[in-house]
A and B are shown apart, each in its own frame.
Chain A
Amino acid sequence: RPKPAPTYRKPPPYVPP
């Protein structure tokens, strides 16, 4: 079954406006 390629680094955390 096809597997998604992993992304290792996460984007910046959420900051409320």
Chain B
Amino acid sequence: STQGAVSPGPPSVQPPWERASTPNKVPYYINHSTETTHWDHPQMLDLAAHLLQLNEVRFSAYRTALKLRSLQNKLCLDCVPLMTASEAFDLHGLRGQNDRILDIADMVLILRAIFESAAAEHPNVVDIPLCVDLALNWMLNVYDSQRTGQIRVLSFKVGLVILSKGHLEEKYRYLFRLIADPQQKADQRKLGLLLHDVLQVPRQLGEVAAFGGSNIEPSVRSCLGDREDLEVTHFLAWLNQEPQSLVWLPVLHRLAAAES
């Protein structure tokens, strides 16, 4: 592992904390005071403690939405418009590359571009090194718990877009476009991959049981019905019924809209 200087720019942690990397460049955090090491950034550990307190909230969709809103705020993804994330993905050659594997350097490059753009609009809110490290931390927690240092492009895009700023239908349409073929249709396999990646988000929050568990087959069957493949209108019609497996996402949007 490499302790000490890791990436250029100011560090996102202060003593007694230090950021280091494994041989496959996965960041981890050293606490010299407690002499411990952690995959989670110290501020992610604080956030996790806050999210545990939210377990007292009774209703599962509302509870999950509160957790997601806290996460969105902490990671400053509520300052990242969906288009900003989408443009960053395109600029880094990720369009149509769902199965390509991203390594840590790729992810950091894309996250940096995203948060530099967000910081231009919200300079007093977005701390770029911190946001990059927290977003990377969250994405690895959701899609690379074994810390191999690799995430598929589809998963990376889904994880960021879900928490980005945008209208609910905009997110739904974007998610569909990720799996649509040139005829704007998606098959059962691709729908399954998409729903699997979407459901990893509440799973990481300990909430997957509330939304039907991690088996996405019932959701795939419910969405497709008798069809062999899916068009965007069918996908939107299904989502507008707020199926149980995904109801946490429209509830997150209602929660955010209600804040004002």
CB of A14 within 8 A of CB of B141, answer no
Q: Please give the distance in Å from A6's CB to the nearest CB on chain B.
A: 8
- Interface contact B210-A12, CB-CB below 8 Å: no
Which residue of the partner chain B has the closest CB to A7?
Answer: B145
Once the chains are docked, how many angstroms separate the CA of A2 from the CA of B202? 10
State which of A2, A5, A12 has its C-beta within 8 Å of the C-beta of B1. Answer: A12
A residues near B30, Cβ cutoff 8 Å:
14
Interface residues on B, range: 20 to 34
Which residues of chain B are near A12, meaning CB under 8 Å? 1, 20, 22, 28, 37
A7 touches B36 (CB 8 A): no
B37 with A3: CB separation less than 8 A: no
A9 contact set on B, CB distance < 8 A: 145-147
CB-CB under 8 A from A13, the residues of chain B are 37
Question: CA A2 – CA B29 in complex, angstroms?
Answer: 26
B interface majority secondary structure:
mixed
Contact B55 A1 (CB under 8 A): yes
Interface size class of A (residues with CB under 8 A): 10 to 19
Inter-chain contacts of B20 with A (CB < 8 A): 12
- Per the bound structure, the CA–CA distance linking A16 and B63 in Å amounts to 40
Question: What secondary structure prevails in chain A residues at the interface with B?
Answer: loop
Complex contact A17–B3 (CB within 8 A): yes
Residue of A nearest to B146 (CB): A9
Nearest Cβ distance between residue B97 and chain A, in whole angstroms?
27
Across the interface, name the chain B residue whose C-beta is closest to A15. Answer: B3
B35 on the A face (CB < 8 A):
yes
Contacts of B3 in A (CB 8 A): 15, 17
Chain B 47-75 interface 0/1 with A at a Cβ cutoff of 8 Å (1 = within): 00000000100000001000000000000
A15 to chain B, nearest CB (A): 7
In the complex, A2 Cα to B203 Cα: how many Å?
10
A1 to B89, CA, bound (A): 37
Least distance between B83 CB and chain A CB atoms (Å): 30
**Hey, which chain B residues are within 8 Å of A17, CB to CB?**
3, 18, 32
Contact of A3 among B1, B18, B28, B206 (CB under 8 A): B206
CA A14 – CA B141 in complex, angstroms? 21
Q: Is the CB of A11 within 8 A of B55?
A: no
Write out the residue numbers on chain B whose beta carbons fall within 8 Å of the beta carbon of A5.
141, 145, 203-206
Contact A2 B207 (CB under 8 A): yes
- Bound Cα distance A17, B28 (Å): 15
B22 & A2 in contact (Cβ 8 Å cutoff)? no
| Known A2-B210, A13-B37, A14-B37; 9 more pairs at CB < 8 Å | A2-B206, A4-B206, A5-B141, A5-B205, A7-B145, A8-B145, A11-B37, A15-B3, A17-B3
